[in-house]
Structure 1
Amino acid sequence: MPRSSFLSFRTYSTRRQSRTDTPADTPHIIPWLASPLDQNTVRSPRLRQRADASPIELFYDVFLVANLATFSATHEINNIKAVWSYVGFVGIIWFTWLQVTLFDLRFSRDSIFERTCKVAQLSAMIGFASAGSRFSSQINDENVWAFKSLSILLSGSRFMLALQYVINLWFIHEKLRSAVRGMFVIIGVHILTGISYLIMFLTFKPSEPHIWIVWFGLFGFESVVVITISNYTPGIELDDTHLTTRMGLLTLIIIGEHVISVTRIVNKMVAGGGWTLASLLHVMGVVTTVYLLWHSYYDISPRQTYGKIKQQIWTHLHFPFHMCIILSSEACQILALALDISLKLRYLLETTNFACEEPRPAMGAALNLLNRTITDMEIDYTRAPHEKAAIHNVLGTLWNQTNICSSANTTGAKAYGIKEEQGRFLTGNVTVALFSSMGITLEDPDSTSSEGMQYVKLYLGLLAFVYVYYFITVGLAMLHFAIFATLTSRHPGLWFNAIAAGFRLVCAAVLISQIAFAKNFDLTYKYMTHPIILYTFSLTMLAVLLVDRLLDILAASEWSKGDVSRQSSTRSTAPMLPHDEEANKRSDEMDERASNYSYERE
């Protein structure tokens, strides 16, 4: 394998020297420009093919997820506008990633020019991150600069891609004449969209708060045209590329972002008071969901060529699929934290009731127990200073009273043990403090900490919203699994594939139907405060995997009887390339030696 010094543009071959080899440690200077053509083939000219992503491609993928992590850290999904903000920003970086990837799949070769272009593309990703902190679903006076910045960055990235295609067209125009027309169309598309993004720079103003949606029309136009032209232009097709590998790796990295949310949950739930059985159940619910999500996706990844139209559908469906993963990850995190908060509030209610149960404990002992219960919650009061003052005020008032217990429950509501007004006030502010401590905040200028129960109602509304969009996103994710299974034909035989896809559709319908419980708030609250809600999606995916396993067993049984033809069982995500033994033979021994030496240099 070649090695290179740090920050060096020179590589050296470390292969053991033989009599017929070029001398070892021969330097290979990285060229200013490199041809994308395969220099070692004796067949008709073709682009160099790779089965795996290069390190610089993986590095670019990391920048996309870093953008996503930065955006998630500065935006909370607490209403429908926040959801559309996520969709908008992720769409910007995802479709930019797609266009860069479509170029890298076929034309990326190590050269000083390509490294310079990659620096420019990485800089665009950094620019996206800087503007993402102010991105929202509506344009206003405070964030109009962010939309203008994004428009300039989008334009610059498309012009850079057009330049890269022009340079590679210069290399292939003589040997791959059939690809020239398609390359001109792709270059024209990127120039056209680049100009369009520049024009949109002038249209962003608060009076047109949703004009940025036009971006998605341009995203769809350029991706459909580039993929279609590529697939039907001889010489630059996507069939023999590692598109499946790149998309699978990006999916893996996005699922990895889900893993990061698990560590956040553990840090918030366990760091203060240590592990409990409840916290273990909550964390394991998220962990099993992440694992089965990975398993469910890679189990139906393409294993062979499956047609140009199917490939285009499969590629574009990954954007909504990735959005479902991202949004469900955020919702799952909130639901897990809400479960932990509900347990702490249950302990608080039990403590206040214990203070007034017969035989009643001493008032000092009861108040000390109440204070210790709140202290054990490990509330971060730096995020809830007003609630801290309100809680201390209630506790101070209770210490100054001669009787802390209520004589009767006048409203008919569930008794707090202590006087109902004080119980509501204390419980409301503790609830707000717990949510704020967990990083789940609301912006409501009409509410104050003295109106704790009003805040509680707002948080309950937030949880109901999270409940609805969680089951919508996981249901849509299962729907994507059904479509992927149909496109990739995981099982041998039409009926086996139909059963697999049909069962996934049924599971998707069952998951989405869970939102019907939202009409009954009491039922929804009981469901949300039970650990089973974190296992619903994972149990559904487990059922799908078991059905697939059963179908595999039945298919193997049919195969052994000779009723079903055997299908390749490889699980590689790399595309299967056509094999032609005659075309792979070298004309003579010298060509083979030259090919080996060239491989060592690369």
Structure 2
Amino acid sequence: MTATSPPPDPKSHTATYEHNDNTSRPIVPWFPSPIDGWDKEQQCFAPRHMASTIELFFDLWFVANLATFTQYHAITNRYTFWSYVAFFFVLWTSWFHVVCFDARFTSDSVWERACKTVHFCSFAALALVGYKFAPVARDVQDATPHWVYRVMCFALLLSRVWLALQYVVTAVSCSSAPHRELRLMLPLLLNAALFLSVAGILSGMFMNFANLENNLTAVLIGMYAVLFIEFFGSLSISMIWQRLSFKATHIGERLGLLGLIIIGEGVIGTTKTITRTLGRTGPNFHGTVQIFCIILILLFMWILYFDRVPHYRFGTVKQDFWMALHLPFHLAILGVVEGSQQLVQARYVYESITELHLNVWRACVGGNLDGQALASNLTKSLDYYKIDESARGTLALPQVFHQINILSNITDVCSPTNTVGLGNDVYDLPESFRGFLVESTDALVQSLNIDIPFEEDMRTIEVALHSWSVVYTYFWSAIILLETCYIVTHLLADVEHGNWRSLKRYISPSVLSRGVMVILAAIMLTLGTTNPAFEQDYIARGWSLPTVVLMLWVICICDRAVKLWKQRRRRRQHYKTLSATTTELQTCIILMTSSSEEKYPSKGPMRLTRLRVFLIPATKEEVENRLQDDQDQRKEAVWAQLFWYGVDTPHTDEMNLSGLQRCFWQAMESNKVRSFSNIRWAVILLLIVDSSVVKLHLVFLSMGGAAKRMSGE
């Protein structure tokens, strides 16, 4: 309750209490009209201001498909990377079109639940697609079974046909006589025609994929071109017909929640990374620091997005562009969280291999062990990493033990004669240890259960090294894309620096810090791709994640500094405005109370005392000396303000309306009242002056009207 809130009504409280005793919910309607969500004031659809439970249920199907695809498809080369991007685009756009419809037209009903069931089936079919989806490969014809493409076309066809049906039903509901003047029929039918056209093309592709001799590359390029046109076409319709815009919907909340869910996927992956890297040998300093860096990266990504989410309407075109920007933004988040986990595991493998080879060197060169003593030492070194706790590691151990058996049967394999002055590429060990080092390294990598596909003529460690090079590339590329999206969203949400041609938009510390970090990330990407030795050393030393943490932390600090500076500037302006307004109100109110004291001797002194407690820092004589000759005009201004705010005061019938309006706006606008809090304060003080019959509803209406005319807070 505020100071001006009325006391609680006992009757109302009792009624509410009795209502809460009834736990039954109203029955779900069969088919509510979409026009019920029409906002007459905003001239657009706004059925609700937050996501419903069935909408959140639909989001779970998206994240389930994404998690399944991530589990079965490791990014180890450029083919798997682009296949990952291709599936994400199909999944995200299918989700986005459903969300765009839900945000504007749906409410909980039997019809809506039936529609969601159809979309659930569509996403269930996409889960089957993701299991073996590889459209980008060395041999596109044989990389993915043709039935996978047919299932994908069927899933997309089902989703688009049902979306078209939903738009047609909405168009029919909005075409009735009472709502025909809104002219919603054409844009709604255009949306339906767009999705029906895409469905027709997909049905043709469904038949095309049945022929194994057709060129799949051309068909896939055509399919993605159609999906791109569909994506931007649906947004263009809402830009042109602004009555279908999203300005009064909760679409921003839905997009933000999906980003939060994708970050949550990173949290799940982080827990798996913890068990893989720290769950066998226990926590250590370097591994703990790497995990802490992942946590900070997830936190900073959340801060940089949700602290800049616009909570106001910033234009139809800009909002649609902001919505479309979430496609690369969510993809960048996914690349960062997945790349972070892979880099932590890569650093763990590098560290484990180095420790293992060092232990072997100590046993052979340092201890000159032979026979059973050497075999026991090597076995003990392997047992430390608990390779047998993994199914894949267990399968690789027989080859390692075979190499240990070979070494134990070689006489004087580690004698001083065989270990002095070697200088080879086997860590200064005898050549006989090469097989053991290769097999033990492969077993160590496989024990992490990383999905690394087998490639001919390449050892497991070689495939892993190549895959980590790809991870390094797409990780820093995702950082660049992420920071670029942060820059664009910051510029879209910035309404304080005028139009796009204003230089202040681009030289603010927030934008400059993001731009500098994009340049730094581009430098790191260039160094890694042009210098493989630098890339491997940077991964092995574990500096990739701390570098990103430092970059994101600098951006957060710059944003914080800018907000503090703006807050202090607003306070200074607020105090200046408040000082000017207070001087005017002091003058008017003191003279009014002086007049009241003459007319009402019994009430005047009491009111003057109450006013001095709240407002008056100067004496009555000082104010009257400053006013000099215009005291009568000031008295008239006070009565005008009281009458404007609905206070019944004597002799108001003697004042004409034009004079009252002129005096009111002179008191309010000439003193540059920019804050709603100032207006509210002035109202409270004026009500204290004359506490006769007060029409509170007129007071609040006047406050709202005055607030709308102000251009400040």
Equivalent residues in 2 for 1:280-299, closer than 5 Å? 280-299=288-307
Partner in structure 1 of residue 397 of structure 2: 388
Partner in structure 2 of residue 223 of structure 1: 231
**1:248–1:206 distance in 2 versus 1, CA, 3 Å:** farther
Equivalent residues in 2 for 1:384-463, closer than 5 Å? 384=393, 387-405=396-414, 407-408=418-419, 412-414=423-425, 416=427, 418-422=429-433, 424-447=434-457, 454-463=459-468
2:220 pairs with 212, 225, 242, which one? 212
Partner in structure 1 of residue 179 of structure 2: 176
Residues 254, 326 of structure 1: 8 Å contact kept: yes
Task: Return the offset for 1:479.
Answer: 1.1
1:85 maps onto 2:93 in alignment = no
Residues 480, 518 of structure 2: 8 Å contact kept: yes
Q: What percent identity do the matched residue pairs reach?
A: 25
* Secondary structure, aligned partner of 2:184: helix
- The residue identity in structure 2 corresponding to 1:270 is L
* Secondary structure, aligned partner of 1:562: helix
Partner in structure 2 of residue 156 of structure 1: 158
Task: Return the offset for 1:83.
Answer: 0.9
CA distance in 2, matches of 1:475, 1:256: 21
Structure 1 segments unaligned to the other structure (5+ residues): 1-14, 449-453, 569-580, 586-602
**1:104–1:160 distance in 2 versus 1, CA, 3 Å:** same
Residues 169, 180 of structure 1: 8 Å contact kept: yes
Task: Return the offset for 1:42.
Answer: 8.6
**1:18–1:312 distance in 2 versus 1, CA, 3 Å:** closer
Deviations 1:186-233 (Å, cap 9, x if unpaired)?
111111111111112123346423222333322222232222222433
- The residue identity in structure 2 corresponding to 1:140 is Q
Which one has a bigger Cα radius of gyration?
2
Residues 419, 428 of structure 2: 8 Å contact kept: no
**1:215–1:41 distance in 2 versus 1, CA, 3 Å:** closer
Partner in structure 2 of residue 112 of structure 1: 110
1:312 pairs with 312, 320, 327, which one? 320
CA distance in 2, matches of 1:62, 1:231: 29
Residues 17, 23 of structure 1: 8 Å contact kept: no
Partner in structure 1 of residue 361 of structure 2: 353
**1:447–1:411 distance in 2 versus 1, CA, 3 Å:** farther
Partner in structure 1 of residue 194 of structure 2: 189
- The residue identity in structure 1 corresponding to 2:522 is I
Structure 2 segments unaligned to the other structure (5+ residues): 1-12, 578-673, 677-699, 705-713
Name which of structure 1's ranges 357-366 and 190-199 shifts more when overlaid on structure 2.
357-366
CA distance in 2, matches of 1:22, 1:529: 61
Partner in structure 2 of residue 472 of structure 1: 477
Task: Return the offset for 1:496.
Answer: 6.0
2:522 pairs with 489, 493, 512, which one? 512
- The residue identity in structure 1 corresponding to 2:157 is S
* Secondary structure, aligned partner of 2:26: strand
- The residue identity in structure 2 corresponding to 1:108 is T
1:481 maps onto 2:482 in alignment = no
1:28 maps onto 2:30 in alignment = no
**1:18–1:94 distance in 2 versus 1, CA, 3 Å:** closer
Partner in structure 2 of residue 100 of structure 1: 98
- The residue identity in structure 1 corresponding to 2:141 is N
Residues 375, 408 of structure 2: 8 Å contact kept: yes
Residues 361, 429 of structure 2: 8 Å contact kept: yes
- The residue identity in structure 1 corresponding to 2:464 is Y
1:201 pairs with 206, 214, 220, which one? 206
Name which of structure 1's ranges 329-338 and 270-279 shifts more when overlaid on structure 2.
270-279
* Secondary structure, aligned partner of 2:541: coil
**1:148–1:306 distance in 2 versus 1, CA, 3 Å:** same
**1:26–1:287 distance in 2 versus 1, CA, 3 Å:** closer
- The residue identity in structure 2 corresponding to 1:318 is H
Residues 45, 176 of structure 1: 8 Å contact kept: no
* Secondary structure, aligned partner of 1:303: coil
**1:265–1:557 distance in 2 versus 1, CA, 3 Å:** same
CA distance in 1, matches of 2:61, 2:17: 45
Equivalent residues in 2 for 1:264-283, closer than 5 Å? 264-283=272-291
* Secondary structure, aligned partner of 2:295: helix
**1:413–1:321 distance in 2 versus 1, CA, 3 Å:** farther
CA distance in 2, matches of 1:56, 1:109: 10
- The residue identity in structure 1 corresponding to 2:406 is T
- The residue identity in structure 1 corresponding to 2:409 is N
**1:425–1:410 distance in 2 versus 1, CA, 3 Å:** farther
1:503 pairs with 502, 513, 520, which one? 513
**1:284–1:117 distance in 2 versus 1, CA, 3 Å:** same
- The residue identity in structure 2 corresponding to 1:374 is L
TM-score (norm 1): 0.84
2:169 pairs with 144, 167, 170, which one? 167
1:261 pairs with 269, 288, 293, which one? 269
CA distance in 2, matches of 1:475, 1:206: 40
**1:554–1:156 distance in 2 versus 1, CA, 3 Å:** same
* Secondary structure, aligned partner of 1:413: coil
Partner in structure 2 of residue 576 of structure 1: none
Task: Return the offset for 1:303.
Answer: 2.3
Task: Return the offset for 1:456.
Answer: 3.2
Partner in structure 1 of residue 626 of structure 2: none
CA distance in 1, matches of 2:401, 2:540: 27
TM-score (norm 2): 0.72
Query: Which of the pair is proportionally richer in helix?
Result: 2
Task: Return the offset for 1:234.
Answer: 5.2
Deviations 1:548-584 (Å, cap 9, x if unpaired)?
112223323433443999999xxxxxxxxxxxx98xx
CA distance in 1, matches of 2:420, 2:95: 61
CA distance in 2, matches of 1:216, 1:409: 62
Task: Return the offset for 1:387.
Answer: 3.5
Residues 405, 417 of structure 1: 8 Å contact kept: no
Residues 365, 414 of structure 2: 8 Å contact kept: no
Report the RMSD for the aligned CA atoms in angstroms.
Answer: 3.2
Residues 77, 330 of structure 1: 8 Å contact kept: no
Residues 328, 473 of structure 1: 8 Å contact kept: yes
**1:440–1:410 distance in 2 versus 1, CA, 3 Å:** farther
**1:312–1:136 distance in 2 versus 1, CA, 3 Å:** same
Residues 354, 417 of structure 1: 8 Å contact kept: no
Residues 193, 222 of structure 1: 8 Å contact kept: yes
Name which of structure 1's ranges 547-556 and 472-481 shifts more when overlaid on structure 2.
547-556
Partner in structure 2 of residue 529 of structure 1: 540
- The residue identity in structure 2 corresponding to 1:488 is A
CA distance in 1, matches of 2:204, 2:424: 60
Name which of structure 1's ranges 157-166 and 274-283 shifts more when overlaid on structure 2.
274-283
Comparing both chains, which one has the higher relative contact order based on Cα–Cα distances under 8 Å and sequence gaps of 6 or more? 1
* Secondary structure, aligned partner of 2:318: helix
